Amino acid sequence: MIAVGNIESLPVRSDLVGLKPYGAPHLNVPVQLNVNENAYPLPDVVVDSMRTAVDDHFAGLNRYPDREFTALREHLVTYLNGVNERAGDTVELDPSMIWAANGSNEVLSHIVQAFGGPGRTVLGFTPSYSMHPLITTGTGAEWQHVERKDDFTLDADTVAAEVARANPDIVFLCTPNNPTGTSIGLDVIEAAYDNCSGIVIVDEAYAEFSRPAKSSAMTLLEGRPRLVVSRTMSKAFACAGLRLGYAIAAPELIDVLRLVRLPYHLSEITQVLACTALEHAEVLLGNVDRLIDSRNRMSAHLAEAGFTVHDSDSNFVLFGNIASPADLWQKLLDRGVLIRDIGIANHARVNAGTEEETEAFLSAIDEILAGSP
């Protein structure tokens, strides 16, 4: 990883001095279970469609892409209306309620640029996704956090009280939460919304992995113009390399994001590939159940082996009762398995792999517990 060294010699903003960049190690090892990707490659049928779809767009690359990503918005609406309908929810979205950017990191960054910034405060419930504070401080806003209980759950009363106390300009809620896997009920989101006058961001990056399927915060959008839901194609959709995240909110909120995005931020190729992926939503999401099986297998095995395992609604598992997470991380790496030491004392996180990867991880764990170096 490239470190940020000796930046004091540069006229860098004082509020950035001492911060650490996003730091998941990018190592080329056989079993990579550290950044919550979808372990399965794209099926041939999707790859073939993508190839054909981009082919028609090469000659037109002399032109800027559609700044309003009109076709992509429509594809996202079709997908999301289907999701809500299958969940029995009556919410009806339209393209004016959709935003998209290069990964949900960029979506979140647009929202915080527009509603955070110098002199403003952003509240989160930690441990949660490490980019929420980094995106916040990047805009010059102040990050405040409330520690979750020992079991990492969050209830409506706690959230209501903390949000009312802090009265932040933005609240981050993440469900299922990274790195703990914990889901929250819609009542927790309502509690946050009702107790501040700021923007409530619900980061639902892992929503498609919840079983049974939970109603999305999208179902609360009616009459809540300060609520915004963020999602991604990086996880369940198996398109992390594509870089496509999106948000759903009232048209007024979406409109504001136009003020902070860079012109033509979504390339023609990104838009075409994302539309093609959405046309194949069912195929791409076809491995979600297999990943959930792997996750459940990991949880059961780790619990049996004596680790504390936190209930997960996503494609990863947080497990504790580890004497030294750094030592476990290294021993697994020595066996070709990369997991994540997320900096929570005595805990580590592993994401569900293919059946073979899951087997490799669990065998490596057994070997380490049996005392081999």
DSSP letter for 256, please.
H
Q: Is 72 in the site for ligand PMP (CB under 6 A)?
A: no
Q: Find out whether the peptide bond into 179 is cis, omega within 30 degrees of 0.
A: yes
- Rounded to a whole number of angstroms, the minimum distance from the CB of residue 240 to ligand PMP is 6
Please pick, from the candidates 49, 84, 136, 178, the single residue that binds ligand PMP as defined by CB under 6 A.
178
299 binds ligand PMP (CB under 6 A): no
The residue nearest ligand PMP at its CB is 103
Among 286, 308, 311, which Cα is nearest to 296's?
A: 311
Other C-beta atoms within 10 Å of 128: how many?
23
Residue 351 CB, shortest distance to ligand PMP, in Å, is 10
Binding mask 211-230 for ligand PMP (x = CB under 6 A): --------------------
Q: Collect all residues with Cβ–Cβ distance below 8 Å to 229 and sequence separation of at least 6.
A: 201, 202, 204, 216, 217, 218, 221, 247, 248, 249
> Among residues 245, 266, 274, 307, which is the contact residue for ligand PMP, using CB under 6 A?
245
Do the beta carbons of residue 337 and residue 353 sit within 8 Å?
no
**38, 210, 232, 294: which one contacts ligand PMP (CB under 6 A)?**
232
| Beta carbons of 220 and 226 less than 8 angstroms apart | no
Return the H-helix or E-strand segment holding 47: helix 44-55
- Interaction of residue 205 with ligand PMP, rule CB under 6 A: yes
Which CB, 240 or 368, lies closer to ligand PMP? Answer: 240
Q: Per-residue contact track with ligand PMP, 29 to 48, x per CB under 6 A?
A: -------x------------
Site string for ligand PMP, 246-265 (x = CB under 6 A): --------------------
Answer for which of 49, 195, 210, 234 binds ligand PMP (CB under 6 A) is: 234
Among the residue ranges 14-22, 38-46, 101-109, 341-349, the one whose residues contact ligand PMP (CB under 6 A) = 101-109
Question: Measuring CA to CA, how many Å separate 231 from each of 88, 108, 170, 176, 360?
Answer: 19, 10, 17, 11, 30
Nearest to 65 by CA among 271, 292, 321, 328: 271
Rank residues 80 and 364 by Cβ distance to ligand PMP and give the closer one: 80
Question: Per CB under 6 A, does 195 bind ligand PMP?
Answer: no
| 203 is an interface residue for ligand PMP by CB under 6 A | yes
For 277, other C-beta atoms within 10 Å of its C-beta total 24
The smaller minimum CB distance to ligand PMP, of residues 244 and 362, is found at: 244
Which residues have C-beta within 8 Å of that of residue 40, sequence separation ≥ 6? Answer: 238, 287, 290, 291, 354
How far does CA 69 lie from the centroid of its chain? 22
Q: Are 304 and 321 in contact (CB under 8 A)?
A: no
Q: Which stretch binds ligand PMP (CB under 6 A): 78-86, 103-111, 272-280, 296-304?
A: 103-111
> Are 317 and 310 a contacting pair, CB within 8 Å?
yes
User: Which residue among 240, 250, 260, 269 contacts ligand PMP (CB under 6 A)?
Assistant: 240
CB 318 within 8 A of CB 347: yes
Residue span binding ligand PMP (CB under 6 A) among the ranges 98-106, 158-166, 194-202, 257-265: 98-106
Site membership for ligand PMP, residue 104 (CB under 6 A): yes
Collapse the DSSP code of 251 into the 3-class scheme (helix H, G, I; strand E, B; otherwise coil) and give the result: helix
Q: For residue 53, what are its two tokens?
A: 């779809």
Binding residues for ligand PMP restricted to 126-155, rule: CB under 6 A: 129
**Total site size for ligand PMP, rule CB under 6 A:** 13
Residues lying near ligand PMP in the complex (CB under 6 A): 36, 103-105, 129, 174, 178, 203, 205, 232, 234, 240, 245
